[in-house]
Amino acid sequence: MSLILASQSPRRRALLDSIGVSYSVETGPELDEDAVLADESIGSFEKRMLELARRKGRPVSEANPDCLVLSADTMVLLNEHRLGKPANHADAMRMLLLLNGRTHHVATGLALQRKSDRLLLSAIVRTEVSFRKLSQVQLEQYLERAQPWDKAGAYAIQDLGSLLVERINGDYPNIVGLPLVRTAELLAQAGIVVL
């Protein structure tokens, strides 16, 4: 059974590789993520997260109707407000100051779909992340060294950003970009048994 990862994320690819899943990579057109997440007609914020994950995979599923398509969207949430990728240095510092010494969530919406039999499985996984309390000088040093301009919330836990984190509660791979246990469970429901 063929599996397609509808994501260009090198972190998601590395995570899937780590559990020995065979897959190819194909992505659809860019989505206006903010528009989907702001569309209250979809329902609750969690429903919008799931819809965003589904929409990321839908064009790939339509182009490959007999393949399973895995898509995901991971975001940093502070009091249910999304912290996206920083626009610039000042925006990254703003985000880090918001997170500094506080607890936030990293949430991933997952979708696994196959057009030929209308299979659609989805889930949301949340991990609680608590940041250490750091000085503004330390945060500046982090930004200089890590340059996290393409990272939601201006940090990546698998890199230098791990030094910002005091503790986590939940699924570590979820923070990197793909909750592996839940992904394996969805794959098993669709007929791909990982373990």
Catalytic residues: 73
**Residue 27, by phi and psi: left (phi above 0), alpha (psi -120 to 50) or beta?**
beta
The beta strand positions in the chain, using DSSP E, are 3-5, 24-25, 68-78, 81-83, 103-114, 119-131, 165-169
Facing residues of 122 across strands? 111
Residue 23 DSSP SS3: coil
